[in-house]
Amino acid sequence: MTSCRLYALSLGLMFLVGCATLRPNTEPRGPQPTEEALALADYEEFEPSAYADPPPPTPQVVHDVPEALWLGQLGAAEPRVVVEGYRVQIALTENKAEADRLYEEVLTWWRQMVAEGRLADIAGAAADPPPIYIVYKAPYYRIRLGNFRNRAEAQRLLRLAAQRFEGAFITADQVILRP
């Protein structure tokens, strides 16, 4: 048992002596090289003026935002009230791109009907923007027309819309009325 202790003690002593005396030499030997700054201009042959790009064209911004909204005055001159009412729904789709395409189609139809005077008895038909809405309730986009207080007013628009858009129907919705 004592020989084991003596052996362990001698191993520990050799380990400590070995670690204490073996240090890596990190001191530099001899003269150190000095770094000279390179003058890159001596090696460069690139002349950027030969590759001057013309300035990019100024983009023309075209928008269909109503002037009142653009100026931050939307609703300032015209008070509005949101109430329970009716609209005519003409389409239902899960695809946003299809909803946007249908909106443009309906907008063209609406403006043609206004120009022909066929919407003269429809309240708000000449409003700008026209009362055409894309209503999103997951997962469907609904294309709806008009702002009507009662079902009888919506029925007049339904008769015209059903001639162009198969499957149009009247639905209850929150509508915007101008007092």
Taking every pair of C-alpha atoms in the chain, what is the biggest distance, in angstroms? 118
Judge residue 103's burial from the number of C-beta atoms within 10 Å of its C-beta, 0-12 exposed, 13-18 middle, 19 or more buried: middle
Q: Rounded to a whole number, what is the distance in angstroms from the first to the last CA of the chain?
A: 108
Task: State the pTM of this model.
Answer: 0.55
Q: Which of 165, 144, 141, 145 is nearest to 93 (CA)?
A: 141
Place of tokens 């101008």: 178
13's CB contacts (< 8 A; 6+ apart) are none
pLDDT value at 27 more than 70 = no
Q: What is the pLDDT of residues 31-59, one digit of tens each?
A: 777 777 777 777 777 676 777 777 788 88
Helix (H) or strand (E) holding 109: helix 96-116
Paired with 3 in beta bridges are none
Q: In the numeric block, which tokens belong to residue 158?
A: 């339904």
Q: What pLDDT was estimated at residue 78?
A: 61
Domains of the chain, CATH where assigned: 80-177 (3.30.70.1070)
DSSP 8-state symbol, 35: P
As a whole number, the mean pLDDT across the chain is 82
